[in-house]
Amino acid sequence: MSKNLGLIVVIVVLVLLGGCGCSGYNKMVGLDQNVKGKWGNVQSEYQRRSDLIPNLVSTVQGAANFEKSTLEAVVNARAKATQTTIDAGDLSPEKIAQFQQAQGQLSGALSRLLVAVEAYPELKANQNFVNLQTQLEGTENRIKVSRNDFNTSVQEYNTVVKTFPNNIFSGMFGFKEKGYFSSDPGAEKAPEVKFN
């Protein structure tokens, strides 16, 4: 009788672990797919920004005496940003940081370009340039929303992967912690405003 009871206990434990494992695995798969979908949205928004840049550069190039080095910096940063790609299956913290750094360099180059435009009233009056600038601003807002959505989905995924009993099965099935977008370097410092 005690031999049968021991066998029953072992079977019940195995069934419970199997049920937890299947349920946890299915949940992790669903959350992983959600993260990959959100990553696709992030890439789509960055691609939209990248697609606007050639039109912006050609419009600005038409302005007489515009700083050639500023335009070259934008073109080079765009090239580097479009070469830095990440497979949705490998969204490690290091890969996300690498992607974010390349996109941050492009953002910086675009910012310098838009500041330099201030010295060219004919560009600020050019309707094509104004339209492109408006589209670029809208795209930057869409990028922010996509990054926030991505980070929310990563947080949910990471929480499930790291909590018990899923943490037992996540390692066995290859579910690893994913990386977040973080603020750009220097964003924690308030800008210095000087009035002359």
15-48 pLDDT, tens per residue? 666 665 567 788 989 999 999 999 999 999 999 9
102-134 burial: b if 16+ Cβ within 10 Å, else e = bbbbbbebbebbbebbeebeebeebeebeebbe
Q: What is the pLDDT of residue 173?
A: 85
Between 5 and 187, the more confident residue is 5
Query: What sign does the dihedral 7-8-14-15 (CA atoms) show?
Result: positive
Gyration radius from the chain CA atoms: 25
Most distant CA pair in the chain: distance in Å? Answer: 96
Between 122 and 133, the more confident residue is 133
Q: In whole angstroms, what is the distance from residue 166 CA to residue 162 CA?
A: 7
39-87 pLDDT, tens per residue? 999 999 999 999 999 988 888 887 756 677 888 889 899 999 999 888 8
Q: In whole angstroms, what is the distance from residue 144 CA to residue 140 CA?
A: 6
* Assigned fold of 37-173: Four Helix Bundle (Hemerythrin (Met), subunit A) (1.20.120)
pLDDT band at 188 (very low <50, low <70, confident <90, very high): very low
3-state secondary structure of 186: coil
Q: In whole angstroms, what is the distance from residue 106 CA to residue 114 CA?
A: 12
Residue 177 pLDDT > 70, yes or no?
yes
Q: What is the pLDDT of residue 100?
A: 92
Residue 110, Cα to own-chain centre: how many angstroms?
A: 18
CA 8 vs CA 3, 15, 21, 68, 102: distances in Å: 9, 10, 20, 79, 58
5-19, 123-137, 141-155, 161-175: segment of lowest average pLDDT: 5-19
Residue 187 pLDDT > 60, yes or no?
no
Q: In whole angstroms, what is the distance from residue 16 CA to residue 128 CA?
A: 64
